[in-house]
Chain A
Amino acid sequence: GAGVSQTPSNKVTEKGKYVELRCDPISGHTALYWYRQSLGQGPEFLIYFQGTGAADDSGLPNDRFFAVRPEGSVSTLKIQRTERGDSAVYLCASSLTKVGGGSAGELFFGEGSRLTVL
Protein backbone atom coordinates (compact mmCIF):
# COMPACT_ATOMS: atom_id res chain seq x y z
CA GLY A 1 0.00 0.00 0.00
CA ALA A 2 0.89 3.65 -0.20
CA GLY A 3 1.31 4.08 3.53
CA VAL A 4 1.20 2.27 6.85
CA SER A 5 -2.28 0.95 7.48
CA GLN A 6 -3.65 0.22 10.95
CA THR A 7 -6.91 -1.45 11.93
CA PRO A 8 -9.13 -0.88 13.73
CA SER A 9 -8.93 2.89 13.91
CA ASN A 10 -10.99 2.81 17.10
CA LYS A 11 -11.55 0.00 19.57
CA VAL A 12 -13.68 0.21 22.69
CA THR A 13 -13.50 -2.76 25.01
CA GLU A 14 -14.26 -3.72 28.56
CA LYS A 15 -11.71 -4.27 31.28
CA GLY A 16 -10.40 -7.82 31.19
CA LYS A 17 -11.04 -8.43 27.50
CA TYR A 18 -8.52 -9.43 24.83
CA VAL A 19 -7.74 -7.14 21.89
CA GLU A 20 -5.71 -7.39 18.71
CA LEU A 21 -4.42 -4.42 16.76
CA ARG A 22 -3.15 -4.90 13.24
CA CYS A 23 -0.48 -3.07 11.27
CA ASP A 24 0.27 -3.37 7.56
CA PRO A 25 3.58 -1.60 6.86
CA ILE A 26 4.81 0.03 3.68
CA SER A 27 5.76 -2.63 1.16
CA GLY A 28 9.48 -3.37 1.29
CA HIS A 29 10.05 -1.88 4.74
CA THR A 30 11.88 -4.46 6.81
CA ALA A 31 11.72 -2.61 10.12
CA LEU A 32 8.43 -2.31 12.02
CA TYR A 33 7.78 -0.56 15.31
CA TRP A 34 4.94 -0.30 17.79
CA TYR A 35 4.55 2.78 19.95
CA ARG A 36 1.93 3.87 22.44
CA GLN A 37 0.90 7.50 22.82
CA SER A 38 -1.14 9.03 25.60
CA LEU A 39 -2.68 12.48 25.41
CA GLY A 40 -0.08 15.22 25.66
CA GLN A 41 2.84 12.81 25.55
CA GLY A 42 5.28 11.68 22.91
CA PRO A 43 5.15 8.18 21.45
CA GLU A 44 6.43 5.55 23.90
CA PHE A 45 8.48 2.72 22.36
CA LEU A 46 7.02 -0.76 22.78
CA ILE A 47 8.69 -3.20 20.37
CA TYR A 48 10.78 -3.32 17.21
CA PHE A 49 10.86 -6.00 14.51
CA GLN A 50 13.56 -6.50 11.93
CA GLY A 51 12.01 -8.96 9.52
CA THR A 52 10.11 -11.62 11.41
CA GLY A 53 11.98 -11.41 14.68
CA ALA A 54 11.45 -9.07 17.59
CA ALA A 55 14.84 -7.38 17.83
CA ASP A 56 13.90 -5.35 20.89
CA ASP A 57 10.79 -5.81 23.04
CA SER A 58 12.11 -3.90 26.02
CA GLY A 59 9.28 -1.38 25.87
CA LEU A 60 6.45 -3.85 26.38
CA PRO A 61 5.04 -2.86 29.79
CA ASN A 62 4.30 -6.40 31.03
CA ASP A 63 3.50 -9.92 29.87
CA ARG A 64 -0.06 -9.00 28.93
CA PHE A 65 1.40 -7.40 25.81
CA PHE A 66 2.69 -9.47 22.91
CA ALA A 67 3.37 -8.79 19.26
CA VAL A 68 4.04 -10.98 16.24
CA ARG A 69 5.13 -10.52 12.66
CA PRO A 70 5.09 -14.08 11.30
CA GLU A 71 5.86 -13.39 7.64
CA GLY A 72 7.92 -10.24 8.01
CA SER A 73 5.17 -7.93 6.83
CA VAL A 74 1.89 -7.54 8.73
CA SER A 75 2.19 -7.32 12.51
CA THR A 76 -0.36 -7.84 15.26
CA LEU A 77 -0.14 -6.35 18.74
CA LYS A 78 -2.04 -8.46 21.24
CA ILE A 79 -3.18 -7.27 24.65
CA GLN A 80 -4.60 -9.72 27.15
CA ARG A 81 -6.77 -8.91 30.17
CA THR A 82 -6.97 -5.24 29.23
CA GLU A 83 -6.85 -2.61 31.96
CA ARG A 84 -8.11 0.96 31.95
CA GLY A 85 -4.50 2.15 31.96
CA ASP A 86 -3.99 0.52 28.56
CA SER A 87 -6.20 3.18 26.98
CA ALA A 88 -4.07 5.10 24.47
CA VAL A 89 -3.38 5.48 20.78
CA TYR A 90 -1.25 2.61 19.53
CA LEU A 91 0.94 3.74 16.65
CA CYS A 92 2.67 1.48 14.19
CA ALA A 93 5.59 2.71 12.11
CA SER A 94 7.82 1.17 9.49
CA SER A 95 11.14 2.17 8.02
CA LEU A 96 13.21 1.05 5.07
CA THR A 97 16.09 -0.05 7.21
CA LYS A 98 17.97 0.99 10.24
CA VAL A 99 20.23 4.03 9.93
CA GLY A 100 22.89 3.64 7.33
CA GLY A 101 22.94 2.65 3.70
CA GLY A 102 21.84 6.11 2.67
CA SER A 103 18.74 6.13 4.82
CA ALA A 104 18.15 8.23 7.89
CA GLY A 105 15.94 5.47 9.18
CA GLU A 106 13.04 7.85 9.50
CA LEU A 107 9.80 6.35 10.65
CA PHE A 108 6.60 6.33 8.60
CA PHE A 109 3.64 6.17 10.94
CA GLY A 110 0.16 4.85 10.50
CA GLU A 111 -2.85 6.81 11.73
CA GLY A 112 -2.98 4.73 14.88
CA SER A 113 -5.52 2.57 16.68
CA ARG A 114 -7.28 4.38 19.51
CA LEU A 115 -7.95 1.88 22.29
CA THR A 116 -10.44 2.72 25.04
CA VAL A 117 -10.82 0.31 27.93
CA LEU A 118 -13.96 0.92 29.98
Chain B
Amino acid sequence: GQNIDQPTEMTATEGAIVQINCTYQTSGFNGLFWYQQHAGEAPTFLSYNVLDGLEEKGRFSSFLSRSKGYSYLLLKELQMKDSASYLCAGLNTGGFKTIFGAGTRLFVKA
Protein backbone atom coordinates (compact mmCIF):
# COMPACT_ATOMS: atom_id res chain seq x y z
CA GLY B 1 0.00 0.00 0.00
CA GLN B 2 0.91 3.65 -0.15
CA ASN B 3 -0.53 5.01 3.09
CA ILE B 4 0.35 8.55 4.02
CA ASP B 5 -0.56 9.65 7.52
CA GLN B 6 -0.64 13.14 8.97
CA PRO B 7 -2.58 14.77 11.81
CA THR B 8 -6.02 16.02 10.95
CA GLU B 9 -5.81 19.42 12.63
CA MET B 10 -3.33 21.62 14.47
CA THR B 11 -3.62 25.01 16.13
CA ALA B 12 -0.76 27.44 16.70
CA THR B 13 -0.24 31.05 17.69
CA GLU B 14 0.79 33.89 15.43
CA GLY B 15 4.57 34.37 15.54
CA ALA B 16 5.24 30.86 16.82
CA ILE B 17 6.79 27.79 15.15
CA VAL B 18 4.79 24.72 14.18
CA GLN B 19 5.89 21.30 12.92
CA ILE B 20 3.54 19.18 10.86
CA ASN B 21 4.54 15.52 10.70
CA CYS B 22 3.92 12.99 7.97
CA THR B 23 4.64 9.27 7.90
CA TYR B 24 4.48 7.00 4.88
CA GLN B 25 5.22 3.47 3.74
CA THR B 26 8.79 3.56 2.50
CA SER B 27 8.42 0.95 -0.23
CA GLY B 28 6.06 3.09 -2.27
CA PHE B 29 7.76 6.40 -2.75
CA ASN B 30 10.86 8.08 -4.11
CA GLY B 31 10.35 11.58 -2.75
CA LEU B 32 8.05 13.70 -0.64
CA PHE B 33 6.19 16.88 -1.52
CA TRP B 34 4.44 19.40 0.66
CA TYR B 35 1.60 21.48 -0.77
CA GLN B 36 -0.43 24.28 0.79
CA GLN B 37 -4.15 24.57 0.14
CA HIS B 38 -6.26 27.49 1.33
CA ALA B 39 -9.97 26.84 1.71
CA GLY B 40 -11.73 26.84 -1.62
CA GLU B 41 -8.50 27.14 -3.58
CA ALA B 42 -6.17 24.82 -5.47
CA PRO B 43 -3.10 23.26 -3.81
CA THR B 44 0.18 25.08 -4.40
CA PHE B 45 3.65 23.59 -4.25
CA LEU B 46 5.81 24.30 -1.19
CA SER B 47 8.70 21.85 -1.20
CA TYR B 48 10.15 18.61 -2.49
CA ASN B 49 12.62 16.31 -0.70
CA VAL B 50 14.24 13.36 -2.41
CA LEU B 51 17.32 13.06 -0.18
CA ASP B 52 17.51 12.81 3.60
CA GLY B 53 17.87 16.03 5.50
CA LEU B 54 16.45 19.48 5.87
CA GLU B 55 15.58 21.80 3.00
CA GLU B 56 15.07 25.41 4.03
CA LYS B 57 13.11 27.93 2.01
CA GLY B 58 12.38 31.15 3.81
CA ARG B 59 9.94 30.65 6.69
CA PHE B 60 9.22 27.09 5.54
CA SER B 61 11.52 24.08 5.91
CA SER B 62 10.94 20.45 5.07
CA PHE B 63 12.71 17.39 6.41
CA LEU B 64 12.90 13.84 5.12
CA SER B 65 14.13 10.55 6.56
CA ARG B 66 13.72 7.86 3.93
CA SER B 67 14.72 4.98 6.18
CA LYS B 68 12.09 5.96 8.75
CA GLY B 69 9.38 6.92 6.26
CA TYR B 70 9.08 10.27 7.99
CA SER B 71 8.85 13.87 6.89
CA TYR B 72 7.90 17.12 8.52
CA LEU B 73 7.10 20.65 7.45
CA LEU B 74 8.32 23.39 9.75
CA LEU B 75 6.69 26.80 9.62
CA LYS B 76 8.41 29.66 11.44
CA GLU B 77 7.14 33.12 12.41
CA LEU B 78 3.58 32.05 11.79
CA GLN B 79 1.25 34.53 10.17
CA MET B 80 -2.54 34.49 10.05
CA LYS B 81 -2.37 33.85 6.30
CA ASP B 82 -0.64 30.52 7.03
CA SER B 83 -4.01 29.14 8.14
CA ALA B 84 -4.59 26.48 5.50
CA SER B 85 -4.41 22.75 4.86
CA TYR B 86 -0.95 21.30 4.39
CA LEU B 87 -0.80 18.24 2.19
CA CYS B 88 1.97 15.68 2.42
CA ALA B 89 2.35 13.84 -0.89
CA GLY B 90 4.56 11.01 -2.03
CA LEU B 91 5.98 10.56 -5.50
CA ASN B 92 5.58 6.92 -6.45
CA THR B 93 8.57 4.83 -7.43
CA GLY B 94 7.61 5.08 -11.10
CA GLY B 95 8.33 8.77 -10.83
CA PHE B 96 5.12 10.20 -12.17
CA LYS B 97 2.23 9.64 -9.79
CA THR B 98 1.84 11.88 -6.75
CA ILE B 99 -0.25 10.39 -3.95
CA PHE B 100 -1.65 12.77 -1.36
CA GLY B 101 -2.39 12.38 2.31
CA ALA B 102 -5.64 13.71 3.75
CA GLY B 103 -3.97 16.96 4.78
CA THR B 104 -3.47 18.77 8.07
CA ARG B 105 -5.66 21.78 8.72
CA LEU B 106 -3.61 24.44 10.49
CA PHE B 107 -5.38 27.18 12.40
CA VAL B 108 -3.25 30.19 13.32
CA LYS B 109 -4.73 32.27 16.13
CA ALA B 110 -3.80 35.76 17.26
Q: CB-CB < 8 A to B42: which residues of A?
A: 91, 109-112
Minimal beta-carbon separation of B37 from chain A (angstroms): 9
**B60 interface residue, CB < 8 Å from A?**
no
Q: Is B107 an interface residue (CB 8 A)?
A: no
B96 touches A106 (CB 8 A): no
**Interface residues in A37-82 (C-beta closer than 8 Å to B):** 40-45, 48, 50, 55-56
Per-residue contact bits, chain B 89-101, to A (CB 8 Å; 1 contact, 0 not): 1010011111111
A45 and B28 CA atoms in complex are apart in Å by: 15
**Does A99 sit within 8 A of B, measured CB to CB?**
yes
Within 8 A of B (CB), among A78-100: 91, 98-100
B70 on interface, CB distance cutoff 8 Å: no
Within the complex, the shortest CB–CB distance from A21 to chain B, in Å, comes to 14
Q: Are A48 and B96 in contact (CB-based, < 8 A)? A: yes
Q: How many residues belonging to A are interface residues under a CB distance threshold of 8 Å? A: 26
Please classify the interface of chain B as helix (H, G, I), strand (E, B), loop, or mixed, using the class held by over half of its residues.
strand
Tell yes or no: B44 within 8 A of A by CB: yes
Q: Choose from B41, B91, B96, B101 the contact partner of A56 (Cβ within 8 Å).
A: B96
Min CB–CB distance B88 → chain A (angstroms): 8
Q: Are A109 and B43 in contact (CB under 8 A)?
A: yes
A107 proximal to B (CB < 8 A) = yes
27 contacts between A and B (CB under 8 A): A40-B102, A40-B103, A42-B87, A42-B100, A42-B103, A43-B87, A45-B97, A45-B98, A48-B96, A48-B97, A55-B96, A91-B43, A98-B95, A99-B31, A99-B96, A100-B95, A104-B45, A104-B48, A104-B50, A105-B95, A105-B96, A105-B98, A106-B45, A107-B45, A108-B45, A109-B44, A111-B41
